[in-house]
Amino acid sequence: MPIEFYEEIGSPPSLAVRLAVRHLKIPVNSHFLDMGDKEQFKPEFLKRIRCQLSMRMDSFCGKGKYNEFFGFLGGFMISLLISRAINRYLVNRYAPDNELYPSDAKKRAIVDLMLDFDLGSLYPAALEWMNPPFFEKKPHDREKEKVVIEKLKLLNELISESRFAAGDHLTIADFSLLASVSTILATEHNLNQYPNIKSWITLLENELPYHKELIMPHIDALKPYLVVRMTATHLNISFNLIDLNMEEGDYLKPEFIKINPAHTIPTIIDNGFTLWESRAINRYLVNQYAPGNHLYPDDPKRQAVIDRLLDFDLGTLYPIAGDWMYTPIWKNVPRDAEKEKVLSEKLKLLDQLVGKGPYAAGEQLTIADFSLVTTLQTINAAGHDLDQYSNLKSWLNRLEQELPYYKEFVESHIKALMPWFEQKVDTDKLLEKSASTH
């Protein structure tokens, strides 16, 4: 019976456990909690736990300090409050004597030393430096960064005499430290000053077949991206990017609801003018900062074609796609084949609409391309094959080649979503296989 695994994209503890699970080939039934919707506090989740435990970045939970993971194995309830404890358990339970956590007392002690260094020294220092800019909208504290640098210098020395973090073999210490260091790397902290760490990361990149699949989405998930940024970037509009902490419910706080009663993102404030809904924002940005631009031209007929596609995306394609893609993840149910058929019909219609190209709304790039490419690539990341829609495929290839910011925004968006969707597909296959044996 698979382990019930509650996790969150972008969480270092989640990533550390995910690495161990993948390496040991342990089947898990993954639950991606919608932290923005406070699913970690809902009765159906809380009834399984003594405290609000979820697989997320270390935080406080009542009087307990760590708020990371709760799992089930068969009928036996496992309450593990630290990802490192989870990884110890996974090896002891499913692969005893494995080199990931060796039985030899001295070797195990070295692994524990590195895990404790990560938990008690490196990771807390990194969070203290990284979190305020994201969660409190404060600038990075230079003094706190100096503390992180000192911890990284020490780690650089600790791994200087061995191939891996705790010796000549890969261990769970590598998984935890890699998750922490990769998170620091996502802040664009320069690791070139730590040659041993850099060599160690390169070694793991080359030796772990699942490195790219698990690590890169984690890094990308920590970097901001919004559809509106494509328009702002294309028009060279400067903006002050504010990342809401959806997990802590920033979008429900009075100060944000005062700005946007609908408490949705994206939201902009332009010299006192507040606006939300991405398509409305994109129209405004062009009209305000580049009136007459081909992204949203003055000509009523051309505007109408763009608006038709934006409305098709907002009112038809995206809701149908969202119901097929996200509902199975949030509710942990198999995907509905009938819903995918409905989605396919809408994509066939869109394939016809963009067939006259070369862009979605005609001969020139428009804001309709920006909204639709996000929806289409999200559907693609969810596993729906877009190769069957020849016009859409040509259009996507054209945008990838022509937009200099495509890789920065669109590909990072895809990479951040892939683990969610891939895990759901894996779980569905496991359930199908289990059903076929009964």
pTM of the model: 0.50
Evaluated on CA atoms 316, 335, 384, 424, the torsion sign reads positive
Model confidence at 175, in pLDDT bands (50, 70, 90)? very high
Instruction: Report which of residues 99 and 142 the model is more confident about.
Output: 99
Residue 134 has pLDDT above 60, yes or no: no
Enter the tokens of residue 309: 């596609």
State residue 1's pLDDT score.
Answer: 64
Residue type, 347: L
Can you give the CATH number for the domain in which 155 is found? 1.20.1050.10
Residue with the bigger pLDDT between 130 and 63: it is 130
Residue 177 reports pLDDT greater than 80:
yes
Note whether 242 and 382 are same-domain residues.
yes
pLDDT tops 90 at residue 173: yes
Residue 99 resides in a domain: no
Shared domain for 270 and 363, answered yes or no, is yes
176 in any annotated domain: yes
Q: 273 and 256: one domain?
A: yes
Between residues 266 and 61, the one the model is more confident about: 266
pLDDT at 81 over 90: no
Q: Residue 86: pLDDT above 60? A: yes
Task: Compute the average pLDDT of residues 380-404.
Answer: 90
Spatial separation of the C-alpha atoms in residues 71 and 49, rounded to whole Å: 9
Mean pLDDT of the chain: 77
pLDDT digit string, tens, across residues 208-262: 988 877 876 666 555 433 346 667 777 787 777 777 766 567 778 888 888 888 7
Whether 83 and 17 map to the same domain: the answer is: yes
Q: Residues 52-78: pLDDT tens digits? A: 333 332 332 322 332 333 332 222 233
Q: Are residues 191 and 338 in the same domain?
A: no
For the chain, helix (H) and strand (E) counts, in that order, are 20, 6
Mean pLDDT over residues 8-20, rounded?
A: 73
- The reply to whether 328 falls in a domain is yes
- Give yes or no for a cis peptide into 266 (omega within 30° of 0): yes
Backbone CA torsion sign across 360, 365, 366, 368: positive
Q: Based on the fold, state whether residues 202 and 337 are members of the same structural domain.
A: no
Q: Is the pLDDT of residue 178 over 80?
A: yes
Host domain of residue 291 = 227-436
User: How much is the pLDDT for 264?
Assistant: 76
Indicate whether 313 belongs to any domain: yes
Residues 29 and 118 grouped into a single domain? no
pLDDT at 64 (0 to 100): 30
Both tokens of residue 197? 């760490």
Amino acid at 365: L
Give me the number of domains the chain comprises. 3
Task: Find all residues with CB under 8 Å of 275, minimum gap 6, and list them.
Answer: 267, 268, 281, 284
Q: Single out the residue in 221, 248, 276 at which a domain terminates.
A: 221
Residue that has been written with the tokens 């690495």 in this structure = 19
The position carrying tokens 């877009």 is: 386
| DSSP classification of residue 163 | S
The reply to whether 60 and 124 lie within a common domain is: no
pLDDT, tens digit, 9 for 90 and up, residues 324-356:
887 777 667 788 899 999 999 999 999 998 887
Looking at 94, 122, 146, the residue that finishes a domain is 94
* Same-domain status, 170 and 237: no
Residues 258 and 208 in one domain: no
Q: Assess if residue 80 is contained within a domain.
A: yes
241 and 204 housed in the same domain: no
Higher pLDDT, 11 or 373: 373
pLDDT at 223: 46
Per-residue pLDDT band at 410 (split at 50, 70, 90): confident
User: In this structure, is residue 67 part of a structural domain?
Assistant: yes
Residue 142 and residue 210 share a domain = yes
For residue 4, the cross-strand partners are: 29
Q: What is the C-alpha separation between 285 and 289, in angstroms, rounded?
A: 6
